[in-house]
Copies of this chain bind each other. A is one copy, B any other.
Amino acid sequence: MAEKKRERRDPEQRRAEILAAAFACFAERGFAATRMEDVAARAGIAKGTVYLHFPDKERLFIELVSGVASPILGEVGGMVQKETIPARTAVSMFYALFKREVLETERRHLLRLILAEGPMFPVVTEFYYREIITKGVAIVRVLLARAAARGELRNPAVVDVPQLVMAPALMSIIWTTLFEGYEHLDTQKLFDTFLDTLFVPEGGAI
């Protein structure tokens, strides 16, 4: 039997541990199927301890889901700043960032969580729309507008549906989450192919 150590710890750190454990659990089984005891066990603490940091399961979930995405946002924001780089490079960097920070991380389960629990947690959906989507779409729109102005787009109409740029990222997440076990999807190729489709070749056609 492992010793129960009553390990006291810095509250901020403990909180973070719980959030990490909770994220793993929720991502694995969804909100309803996750037991608070699972979360506690995963965090290596007792059931009751979770409640010292979060008032109830719902709040734990909400704070969790709200907190996971925020950090990435900053980096993305910086991307639009540099006007000099070609739009394709910028979008490419975005995909790379997405791969590194989401797709190849536990965060890849985030979409599933939000999608799955959205109807039960409108607050979360609203948060994501307001904090992430809105900003993301805005950034992409600027990027595309700039690209269109420079003649970098094969089809300038894309500017009006910036969501299209996100579509391959969505696909990558969903495929990875659901079907990677059955058939591998080369996400890099997915992104690159889409970029090649979206933007005129660098060399500049005749």
**Known contacts A163-B171, A197-B155, A197-B198: A133-B179 contact under CB 8 Å:** yes
**Known contacts A166-B171, A171-B163: A116-B112 contact under CB 8 Å:** yes
Interface 1/0s, chain A 142-173, versus B by CB < 8 A?
A: 00000000000011011011011011101100
Closest Cβ of chain B to A79, distance in Å, is 20
Determine the chain B residues whose CB is within 8 A of the CB of A179 once the complex forms: 125, 129, 133
Determine the chain B residues whose CB is within 8 A of the CB of A190 once the complex forms: 161, 163-164
Determine the chain B residues whose CB is within 8 A of the CB of A115 once the complex forms: 111-112, 115-116, 174, 177-178
Stretch at the interface among A27-35, A43-51, A57-65, A83-91: A27-35
Interface 1/0s, chain A 84-114, versus B by CB < 8 A?
A: 0000000000000000000000000001101
Determine the chain B residues whose CB is within 8 A of the CB of A116 once the complex forms: 30, 112, 115-117
**Chain A at the B interface: SS class:** helix
Determine the chain B residues whose CB is within 8 A of the CB of A186 once the complex forms: 161
- In this assembly, does A67 line the interface, its C-beta being within 8 Å of a C-beta of chain B? no
**Known contacts A155-B193, A164-B171: A178-B112 contact under CB 8 Å:** no
- In this assembly, does A120 line the interface, its C-beta being within 8 Å of a C-beta of chain B? yes
Verify B163–A197 contact, CB threshold 8 A: no
Which of B28, B30, B198 is in CB contact (< 8 Å) with A30? B30
Residue among A31, A114, A190, A197 with max Cβ neighbours from chain B (10 Å): A197
Q: A166 CA to B126 CA in the complex, in Å? A: 26
Determine the chain B residues whose CB is within 8 A of the CB of A28 once the complex forms: 119
Verify A193–B30 contact, CB threshold 8 A: no
